[in-house]
A and B are shown apart, each in its own frame.
Chain A
Amino acid sequence: MADPMRIRANVVGDATEVKVLMNHEMETGLRKDAEGKPIPAWFIQNVTATHNGKTVLSAQWGPAVSKNPFVSFKFKGGAKGEKVQITWTDNKGDKRTDEATIA
């Protein structure tokens, strides 16, 4: 299974800044291996971030997002000690959810 994400969430003024680093190959499907066979595409397609059950960001990604994707965003509200959850799903149907405590 996929490795855990690294998530940091910090209160900045009246907003919460979230930074996420995911572990994923993000293979485009356009590359070939040493024998010239195409390497199948393998990339994260959907990303959802939730805070207190409310979606604060959702994204659709193509294979042009870099390997081990990074994303950062800010949402209003959020207090220290509350949780932020991030979920991704890739094109093989693999899924991973991690959460972080807002600091």
Chain B
Amino acid sequence: MYMKRREVLKTGGSITLLALITAAGWAPPREALAADSWNKAAFDTKSMDETTKALGGTTPAPSKDITFFQTPDIAENGAVVPVGVTSAIPKTESIAILVEKNPNMVAAMFDIPAGTEPSISTRVKMGQSSNIYALVKADGKYYVASKEVKVTLGGCGG
């Protein structure tokens, strides 16, 4: 079973087929039931450009004011990779965590209301070694920082 899932991940064609099946099958009615504000377009993106476009922004500027913490250089288990992001950019409104080589890039998006520190940590899945991006929206503009994480055991779908 494990190897099968791995093969599924490797063959791009299967992913597309699967995505089609999911799109045509039971997924949409269930999603329709689900809550209020889930930006489906953003979670379907496969590149940084598409993501920022789906969020209504422009190409993000690289920033040294975004730092990672608790994020390993080498993750033993790709199913559970701790990621912490702190933004020192004033007026940070939201922080998104993206994994470059996952089937869909966006893992999580956090809205930071005034009074909450622009620093969050969570755990994400990674299919393979890849860059993790932190996309920060501050004062209407987008900023990005990245960190490479090597995965010894994939965790996205197998």
Contact = CB atoms under 8 A, between A and B. Distances in A.
Contacts, number: 151
Contact of B22 (A40, A59, A61, A67): A40
B157 A31 contact: yes
A62 B108 contact: yes
Contacts of A85: none
A71 to B, nearest CB: 5
A23 interface: no
Interface residues of B, number: 54
Determine chain B's interface SS by DSSP, over half rule.
mixed
**Which of A30, A64, A89 gathers most chain B CB within 10 Å?**
A64
A72 B120 CA distance: 6
B129 interface: no
A71 B121 contact: yes
Interface string B3-36: 0110011000001001001100111001101111
A58 B9 contact: no
Interface of A: 15, 26, 28-34, 36, 38, 40-41, 45-46, 54-67, 69-77, 89-93, 95
Interface of B: 1, 4-5, 8-9, 15, 18, 21-22, 25-27, 30-31, 33-39, 42-43, 79-82, 99, 102-104, 106-113, 115-117, 119-126, 155-158
